Amino acid sequence: MSTIVFFDSGTEPRLAELGGKCASLVSMTAAGMPVPPGFAVTTTAYDTFVESSALRSEIANRLGEIDVDDVACIDRVSADIRAQIESRPVPEQLQHDLVEAYAALQEQMGGELPVAVRSSATAEDLPDASFAGQQDTYLWLLGLTAVCEHIRRCWASLYTSRAITYRLKNDIPEDDLSMAVAVQKMVNARAAGVAMTLDPPTGDRSKIVVDASYGVGEMVVSGEVTPDNIMLDKVMLSVVRERIGDKHAELVPDPSSRQLVEREVSQDLRSTRCLTDDQLVAVATLAKKAEKHYGCPQDIEWAIDADLPDGANLLLLQSRPETVHSSGEQKKPSTTPACGNLMSGITASLLGNKH
């Protein structure tokens, strides 16, 4: 199996090779959705690194010492494992593969541009486990050295305290656990956010709910800002309800420091919806396409790229299955089919079967 897979390579999006996030990005690219270009550093690369560093048994031994109720112990083991992963040498062939892939991506983008480096564990973004946020994402990275360093940090983030605890409490086995990493063109987001193809509190699949704010979407995902919250009818794409959020700050690129910085949003922009009517409909339409592609309610991340022309600037950054209502946990019967009845669709997609 290859150590590098480009999103547009036509490769089957296999979960075991690409992890949840990268499998989704490969699948959506193949379906013609507007995914920023990039490549996956596959689980083969991570497994090769772990085996060459003789880390497999060492990690297993350290995890075996853990008491799930002892937070200090978990933190100590996590720190030790991550330090080992970040310090062991990477095999020369793998280094060579990364250099070639990064150069090819920069050429595809038309010059050296910033990228995002995003973890893609084999145990995340699954139909029955909402694993989002358990590993790390790094934004606005420039240069091969920074990218390689943060790929290693993503590998190490497989063993954050929160990820270890999550797996222990949800009985997710460590045996075949692995990590792929997405290296993807960074979007210069004018506005960004998330959208769900149902109403989260009720599970009503006749609605789409969009959260949107200015700048890069990390502040929405992390809950650092109160975004605009708009509910639309899924068929008519008309606004059913909207609440204008405060949106007090945004993450934007700073050319002088060559990194993202937090900037205060002016009062007039705070009180204004950050999406036009056309942009809102475009986001909802994109979410519907993701749901149709996977055959299951989706939770997508999107952004409007300030560097692209209007009408071609809405990009899909990620799509994962909605898990609370989809897993059949709602207590009242729904008038629409439960996503649990449609699990075979997304599972087939993630495993690389055509549908």
Domain containing residue 261: CATH number = 3.30.470.20
Same domain, 69 and 215: no
Q: What is the pLDDT along the chain (355 residues), one digit of tens a residue?
A: 799 999 999 999 999 999 999 999 999 999 999 999 999 999 999 999 999 999 999 999 999 989 889 999 999 999 999 999 999 999 999 999 999 999 999 999 988 889 999 999 887 544 444 444 456 889 999 999 999 999 999 999 999 999 899 888 888 888 888 999 999 999 999 999 999 999 999 999 999 999 999 999 999 999 999 999 999 999 999 999 999 999 999 999 887 887 899 999 999 999 999 999 999 999 999 999 999 999 999 999 999 999 899 889 999 999 999 877 655 544 333 333 334 333 333 333 333 333 3
Using an 8 Å Cβ cutoff, are 44 and 3 in contact? Answer: yes
Domain end residue (candidates: 159, 185, 211): 185
Strand order in the sheet with 115-121: 4-6, 38-41, 179-185, 115-121, 137-141
Domain end residue (candidates: 170, 185, 200): 185
CA angle 29–31–32, rounded 5-degree value: 70
Residue 141, domain member (yes or no): yes
Total domain count, the chain: 2
Q: Which of 297, 350, 326 is nearest to 19 (CA)?
A: 350
Domain end residue (candidates: 129, 163, 185): 185
Strand order in the sheet with 298-305: 239-243, 228-233, 207-214, 189-196, 298-305, 314-321
Question: Measured between alpha carbons, how far is 261 from 216 in angstroms, rounded to an integer?
Answer: 10
Question: Measured between alpha carbons, how far is 66 from 75 in angstroms, rounded to an integer?
Answer: 10
* Structural domain that includes position 321: 189-346
Instruction: State the residue for tokens 């605890």.
Output: 165
Residue 72, domain member (yes or no): yes
Question: Measured between alpha carbons, how far is 33 from 315 in angstroms, rounded to an integer?
Answer: 8
Residue 62, domain member (yes or no): yes
Same domain, 78 and 218: no
Using an 8 Å Cβ cutoff, are 115 and 38 in contact? Answer: yes
Same domain, 206 and 173: no
Residue 215 phi, psi dihedral angles, 5° rounding: 80, -165
Quote the distance between the C-alpha of residue 79 and its chain's center.
24
Domain containing residue 71: CATH number = 3.30.1490.20
Write down the pTM of the prediction: 0.84
Query: Does residue 291 come out as left (phi exceeding 0), alpha (psi in the -120 to 50 range) or beta?
Result: alpha
Question: Measured between alpha carbons, how far is 55 from 58 in angstroms, rounded to an integer?
Answer: 5
